[in-house]
Amino acid sequence: MKKLLSLFSFGLLSCGNVVRVGPVAIPTQDPASRATPSVSFHSLTATDINGAPFSFAQLKGKKVMVVNTASECGYTPQYQQLQELYTTYKDKGLVIIGFPSNDFGGQEPGTETDIAAFCQKNYGVTFPMMAKVGTKGAEKHPVYQWLTEKAKNGWFDSEVKWNFTKYLVNEDGTIHTMLASATDPLSDPVIHWLDGTK
């Protein structure tokens, strides 16, 4: 029993048939020692959930959370916390961008129309949602290539391992950190980042 409690104290959560523990460790090197990204975050583009182009140039000077979402995951209720976070901080310069993906457990099988209706009906989502993308392998979207490849982002290599992995990107387009699926969007690492307290 004692061992079981200690596991829960580290935020152990399950989704499907896997277990994720967060937050994910990233390099602790001095940010001043980062390499210059070969691709600018603000030069990226995507297609939004309604089929319109979405330019990341509009994100200059804003803090951005990029999160891969799914409608049938154990973490899907995080939409509620994401929306709460966005409502609280959007006027202070936060943009949350959701990228639906069917990469993990087939947990995002719907069309963009289905996903948009689901998000609105169940969670009142108002933050930008993009079209479905691949976050790994040969189908990896250019945004996720940038987020996960040091050669492009100048900071570190990473891997999206499940739905609701969160990347925090600073106002200047550099990665602040990556947080695992189990990390609540309203957790201290996110709030400290937004408030500039850590």
| Residues 89, 69: Cα–Cα separation, whole Å | 20
| Residues 70, 75: Cα–Cα separation, whole Å | 8
Q: Let me know: does 133 contact 100? Beta carbons within 8 Å.
A: yes
Catalytic residue among 15, 65, 73, 147: 73
Within-domain flag for 147: yes
- State yes or no: is 73 an active-site residue: yes
Residue 163 belongs to what domain range?
A: 38-195
Within-domain flag for 80: yes
| Residues 129, 145: Cα–Cα separation, whole Å | 18
Nearest one of 198, 196, 197, 161 to 181, comparing CA atoms: 161
Within-domain flag for 33: no
Within-domain flag for 12: no
Number of independent structural domains in the chain: 1
The secondary element (H helix, E strand) that includes residue 34 is none
CATH assignment at residue 124: 3.40.30.10
pLDDT at 137: 95
The pTM (predicted TM-score) of the whole model is 0.86
pLDDT at 30: 61
Within-domain flag for 2: no
| Residues 82, 85: Cα–Cα separation, whole Å | 5
Within-domain flag for 174: yes
pLDDT at 2: 40
CB atoms near residue 180 (< 10 Å): 19
pLDDT at 33: 64
Within-domain flag for 64: yes
- pLDDT tens, residue by residue, 21-71: 344 455 555 666 678 888 999 999 999 999 999 999 999 999 999 999 999
| Residues 30, 87: Cα–Cα separation, whole Å | 32
Within-domain flag for 51: yes
Residues in the chain, pLDDT under 50: 1-24
Look up residue 132 and give its DSSP letter: P
Look up residue 58 and give its DSSP letter: G
